[in-house]
Structure 1
Amino acid sequence: MTSLASVVSSSRARLFACFLRLGSQQASPLQLHTGASLAAKSHYEVLVLGGGSGGITMAARMKRKVGAENVAIVEPSETHFYQPIWTLVGAGAKPLSSSGRPTANVIPSGVEWIKARVVDLDPDKNCIHTDDDKKVTTGVLWLLFT
């Protein structure tokens, strides 16, 4: 298994940082074009690993502001917890039940949810392997949120 540090320091992570600096006005969908066919269900332009608040936000940003057409989030949990509200739960101002929602309800529109756990990262081949023995590839970059 590849370490998280080596994936984050990859050229794809630097490319993502460049897109963030460009902002929504300068980045166009053509900048995310890949030579690979996107017809396969197991191939995505952008693959977000982790469906917490950061992963959800970045998937939405890549879809709407950068123009990626084929975005997926890999997240095994059925329930999404909004952790920042836990300080209010701890203070007694909110009930614990207010922090959780079904994951399906928070996945941005147009983003596919891959309900699985990542068991292996292979940045050299631009792919991951999931706990249900599926191989998922990405053409441009992956974003990791743990």
Structure 2
Amino acid sequence: TLIEAWAAYAGPPAPKPSKTLASHEYLMRIEDPAIRSIMQAIIAERDKLRAQLNVLKANSQVTVDRRPLGATVAGAPGLPPVTVLAPAAQLTPSEREALQKAVSADYLERCGLREGSHGEILNERGRTLFEVGFARAIRRILGD
């Protein structure tokens, strides 16, 4: 009864002032009503898109598989699967092109080099720059 008597004496509670959004405060700083209206529409659209994005995030699961396309998965019982790559699959196109150029006869000739009979790279004096099997190993990696 005491609380009811005090409520009758004091009157109804004062309405709480509505909380203004930060975006609303920024809009009120814009003096031109046309620009303020455009900005208000942009902010409303941004908020709508943000809400849609949050709904999509909550309802989706994305799996990112960054394994190269040439990979095969091998596994033994009791062990986790292992991704196995062929040596050629590990190369980017620019790396593949650079290796092909490095052992091409035209490029070697322009640089004053030549390939020996056992896959070694020799300079114009016949001295070995790259050891026996170098050119053959690169060609094997490239799958040529």
When normalised by structure 2's length, the TM-score is 0.22
**Larger Cα Rg: Structure 1 or Structure 2?**
2
When normalised by structure 1's length, the TM-score is 0.22
More strand per residue:
1
Larger RCO (CA under 8 A, 6+ residues apart): 1
More helix per residue:
2
